[in-house]
Amino acid sequence: IERQYGGLEAGVMGYVMAVRELGQGCGATTVAMMVTNMVAEAIAKYGNDAQRQEFLPPLRNGDWPAYGFSLSEPGSGSDAASLKTYAQRTDGGYILNGVKSWVTSGGYCGVYLVMAATDPDMKARGISAFLVTPDTPGFAVTKPEEKLGLRGSATTQLVFEDCFIPTSRRLGDEGIGFTI
């Protein structure tokens, strides 16, 4: 039954209530849950059938504790369109190089949604989204940041050095990463 609460569907209102209740008890858990949910929603909305089959059941089944979102970088935290992480097209995929910062749950994720420039001249319209798993050669997670709060949620950098990402791991079309 779809009911409306203040213009929100019942499922959205339930999520908002869960976030509010969790936040009163543990902000770190709440942040990790919200980021994981955001990535899962992006996969559900923009992913193809194969990506949904590969990446959504492990979260639902509890096989993967979290998903990571990777947009910010050391030099472009508030200006996301000027990111420097670059995905160069190659035969069958992309070669990903760069660094991402302030990644919630870094080191605990089954998959990371990574934004990278595929056409830097296009700024925001030249950003594409990629699904990167922790076993990808050339991918590394750094030591967690020392934080003043939310210590129950690891925050790390992600480092990409000549990571081959197959085209099948690009989320959505090339150039719509900023929209995602």
pLDDT of the residue at 12: 79
pLDDT of the residue at 75: 81
The larger pLDDT score, comparing residue 166 to residue 32, is at: 166
Alpha carbon 118 to chain centroid distance? 17
pLDDT per residue as tens digits for the range 69-116: 999 999 876 787 889 999 999 999 999 999 999 999 999 999 999 999
Q: What angle do CA 104, 108, 156 make, to 5 degrees?
A: 40
The larger pLDDT score, comparing residue 26 to residue 140, is at: 140
pLDDT, averaged across the chain: 90
pLDDT per residue as tens digits for the range 46-78: 999 999 999 999 988 989 889 999 999 998 767
Tell me if 43 sits within 8 A of 54, measured CB to CB: no
Spell out the alpha helix ranges (H) of 122-169: none
Alpha carbon 29 to chain centroid distance? 17
Q: Using the Cα atoms of residue 28, residue 29, residue 30 and residue 31 in order, give the sign of their dihedral.
A: positive
The DSSP symbol for 144 reads P
Q: Using the Cα atoms of residue 70, residue 74, residue 79 and residue 83 in order, give the sign of their dihedral.
A: negative
What span, in angstroms and rounded, lies between the C-alpha atoms of 144 and 106? Answer: 8
